[in-house]
Amino acid sequence: MEFLQPDNWAPAKGYANGVVAEGKLVVLGGQIGWNAQQEFESEEYIDQFRQTLENIKTLLKEAGAGPEHLVRLTWFITDRDAYLGSQKEMGAAYRDVIGRHYPPMSVVQVVQLVESQAKIEIEATAVI
């Protein structure tokens, strides 16, 4: 895996601008912050974020992959202020679950997610 960082670009912080990878493609549908029984254990943004990451990690393991194989994350959030206001906590949760692997990421604010209790949904792509 090769991260793309042109010499004259400022370093990306907490994500990569691009990546080149070769291997078996693993594509995960949007994951939200509910447990394996599709029940929300918390209404709190950071708790749902952590559970979403745990769900991604579990699915990656099912495919024989790990967080280090992630090549793309797309986040859909319902509350930009909650997202911006919890950067420190999100960073700690991300490092705790995913580690210090920062693939290219996009964050998009949406009006609402299909599951009305969900505050965040993340699509993931990995290459083994």
Q: Report the pLDDT averaged over residues 115-127.
A: 97
**Tokens at residue 101, please?**
């692997």
Give the pLDDT confidence score for residue 14 in this predicted structure: 84
pLDDT in tens, 80-118: 999 999 999 999 999 999 999 999 999 999 999 999 999
Q: Give the confidence band of 74 by pLDDT, cuts at 50, 70, 90.
A: very high
Q: Domains plus CATH for the chain?
A: 28-127 (3.30.1330.40)
Q: Report the pLDDT averaged over residues 8-22.
A: 89
Give the pLDDT confidence score for residue 12 in this predicted structure: 85
Q: Report the pLDDT averaged over residues 7-32.
A: 92
Tokens 């254990």 identify what position? 41
- How far apart are alpha carbons 103 and 92 in whole angstroms? 16
* Residue 122: closest CA among 82, 77, 74, 84: 74
* Residue 117: closest CA among 56, 34, 51: 34
- Three-class DSSP labels, 12-28: CCCCECCEECCCCEEEE
Q: Give the confidence band of 49 by pLDDT, cuts at 50, 70, 90.
A: very high
* Contact present, 52 and 32 (Cβ < 8 Å): yes
How many residues comprise the chain?
A: 128
- How far apart are alpha carbons 116 and 55 in whole angstroms? 18
Angle, in degrees to the nearest 10, between helices 87-97 and 45-62: 20
CA distances from 40 to 15, 35, 49, 119 (A): 28, 6, 11, 11
